[in-house]
Structure 1
């Protein structure tokens, strides 16, 4: 079957010519071919397999291009890469692989196209198009990958057990593709993931997080997290989440399953934001509930302080997974810590409570409201409408209060330097007491957020502390 129309971009003819100059066969393989058959036509990377040296082919292609792009060579892997027309093109010599028990890095030998297709992770990624002049665009599909694409099935070209044991990252990739493409993982393949789940331990945390992020960035992340939980992989990667699973019952009182609730929240927020770190906040917003869960006859099940405990757990989780411990982690921590604040506020929307919310959340107040709205998972239509209406009132109040009082990223109208100068003070606790009094007065609405009122209060507060100034 010929698919030359997939190869209309002029780069394919240039690669074909370069391969002919080197008396080499070459093929497009993997994601580009898969996405062509899925009508996903915005390819940003292309994988080329050469029956020979991929590095030589890349250098020859660069020679033929007008702008002579720089070829990046990765000798360890026998691969080369160049950029052309905003497309990243990777070249590799066809190879066969064998594996050691304790590493996902294979022992590589030169091989045929068949060897190269055998080593691919899934049948849908083993599809190849010929770049030879006489067979340009011919499809090579030894494992029925095209049929699997049409049926929406993820399966491995060879024995799943061996495929996943050899390179356990493929288990994460299977789940990620199933999530992104809305495909089903073949039953034998899914069972092999469960069987080999403990092999995930040999994969670096950074590689695992790349796949986790892609699952989180999909339209419906819950698909991936349910598969991670079902296969047992989640226990190894995010045990904080699996700890939320299950419903306890005592004396006729039970609580919701916080694991499945969390996945609903993540799906909800994915409809309204592409912000990866806000999606992480949704995923982790209830992780403090497992360690804080208690039962008492008077009030039933409680999770007191779960937001505070959860925010502390975020740091440990990020550190363990070697995720960034910078402002992104701090953002997730803040969202988890404050995740219940607007819910409490929605019952009684006072100016002072809204000022405090804006003061504490700063630039992230809109993100916090988005998280709280996603946290409404009730199946009762009346309650659902009521909660959303309440949050709309809170959002409107935030705009009104912020326009009037300017407490987002609050800076006190009177500086510490002015307090020191006014009362002839050196650095001391009195400065902090006065600044705190001014801040509290503004947040409570006792005085407006302006210099004259704040200055007057500064004098009054200083006087009450027994401080003297020439102006008294």
Structure 2
């Protein structure tokens, strides 16, 4: 199949024919551009349909909306010279061809009407700088002024213009280069462009909002092998400016002949292991951050390296990290905190023997996240020794089995003590006080320790016993 035949097979759709007809009526050249064209040749399904008119894109959008009828929803953004048409599950973005120039002292470009070549030259990469004509007399004709097809064949990511200009004009394109290298298997960044990213890395925090950066980083985290993008993030120097706490994990140190592993390399492996089993973005973030506290807790004591309480220290670091990176400070952050804090616990159960009390406590603290916690712990096994890996996997299988047995018997996951604080106050004629909290906590601890079953009658009897120790007696009803 020729390139023209491939293109026609993908754009022989009523919506594209209608856009072409509307373009002729308005009197403008019109092209579908960018990711949609790229994905035709990559064999990927693309939902992003960007349309460029060599003229007023808003006029074309209005004409298309009229032809589509009442079911079409038109939104015009006059200040930006763009418009959007939604029709069912189709979203069309319209813009007029334009050129941009930047003043050295401003992040905002000067935008002017331009030619198709002007418009394509301002795009991030050659593979995104191809266009397909939709006008009926040239329908399906490919415009590839910057050899994007060749770069697709060679699996190369490179800018249409001098990369220093492209990346300086919009530094977010450096993150986009890394994101595409991570999302598109086999694609690499052209060496000259890699060098340009390294030279311009400092611009990422000077000229780009944290919200835009984290959007690209999240896409890297959701790629099939996040380590590809994360390694490039580190190698180009961008990590140093965006995420210094993560970069602090880098390096293996040796003292008196005793060394520790490179915790950043280990972290990449953990994220990749996790990504093979889950597309939960926040579970992947927990994998990325699970050892974030190690640099602050590293010590060389009695001939060995220790990272005591790195899980606790790491969990306490997360609010500041999430706030700076503009990650959500709601339940998603608390979810990641919980997993970072608890990720050593299952291994401790394995090492110290699995007791019912320890299992109850972990089930209670992990709650509904227990399965995600175990997935993280299994991803944390990065040894190259297959026997050691198998040993840990088998041990974790034993822990999972114990979880099932304890939960079936004691129902401690997310449990509340069977006797409430209100009942304690009513029984002993108390107001909210330290005694109420003491009794309620004692009931909870007794259940978790297996002293009493997780049942009302046993909990009430224990309440009366504990209250007597505190010198309290039930009031007469």
- Normalising by the smaller structure, the TM-score range is over 0.9
The counterpart of 2:88, out of the listed 85, 90, 105, is 85
**CA separation of 1:102 and 1:415: change in aligned 2, threshold 3 A:** farther
Cα deviation for residue 86 of structure 1 reads 0.9
Matched, 1:8 2:20: no
CA drift of 1:299 comes to: 4.5
What per-residue deviation string (whole Å, max 9, x for no partner) do you get for residues 98-137 of structure 1? 1133544321000110111111110000111011111100
Contact 1:32 / 1:45 at 8 angstroms: preserved in 2? yes
Q: Say if 2:371 is the partner of 1:330.
A: no
1:372 aligned residue: 377
Provide Cα deviations, 1:82-107, integer angstroms capped at 9, x if missing partner: 11231211000000111133544321
1:344 matched to 2:348:
yes
Alignment of 1:291-370 (within 5 A): 291-296=296-301, 298-347=302-351, 348-370=353-375
Mapping 1:4-403, distance limit 5 Å:
4-41=8-45, 43-182=46-185, 183-201=187-205, 202-296=207-301, 298-347=302-351, 348-403=353-408
User: C-alpha displacement at 1:432, in angstroms?
Assistant: 1.0
Instruction: Identify which range, 342-351 or 255-264, moves more after superposition.
Output: 342-351
Deviates more, 1:82-91 or 1:275-284: 82-91
Point out where structure 2 has 5 or more consecutive residues left out of the alignment. none
Instruction: Decide whether aligned partners of structure 1 residues 448 and 299 sit closer, same or farther in structure 2, where only a CA change above 3 A counts.
Output: farther
SS at match of 1:244: coil
For structure 1, which segment, 217-226 or 425-434, has the greater mean C-alpha deviation from structure 2 after superposition? 425-434
Query: Contact 1:244–1:257 (CA<8 Å) still a contact in 2?
Result: yes
> What secondary structure, in the 3-state scheme, does the structure 2 residue paired with 1:440 have?
helix
Residue 393 of structure 1 deviates from its aligned partner by: 1.1
Mind listing any 5+ residue stretches in structure 1 that lack a counterpart?
A: none
Deviation at 1:470, TM superposition (A): 4.5
Residue by residue over 1:312-337, the C-alpha shift from the partner in whole angstroms, topping out at 9 and shown as x without a partner, is 11110111112111111111111111
1:6–1:137 Cα contact (<8 Å) kept: no
Alpha-carbon separation, structure 2, partners of 1:419 and 1:101: 70
d(CA) in 2 for partners of 1:449, 1:277: 32
SS of 1:70's equivalent in the other structure is strand
Aligned partners of 1:19 and 1:388: how far apart in 2? 61
TM-score for both structures, normalised by structure 1: 0.98
**Counterparts of 1:137 and 1:55, CA distance in 2:** 22
Kept in 1, the 8 Å contact 2:71–2:88? The answer is no
Q: State the distance in 2 between where 1:291 and 1:307 align.
A: 11
The 3-state SS of whatever aligns with 2:79 is coil
Contact 2:35 2:128 in 1 (8 A): yes
Q: TM-score, normalised by structure 2?
A: 0.97
Aligned pairs, number: 470
Structure 1, 71-80 or 230-239: larger mean CA deviation: 71-80
Q: Which contiguous aligned blocks of 4+ residues in structure 1 show a shift greater than 4 angstroms?
A: none
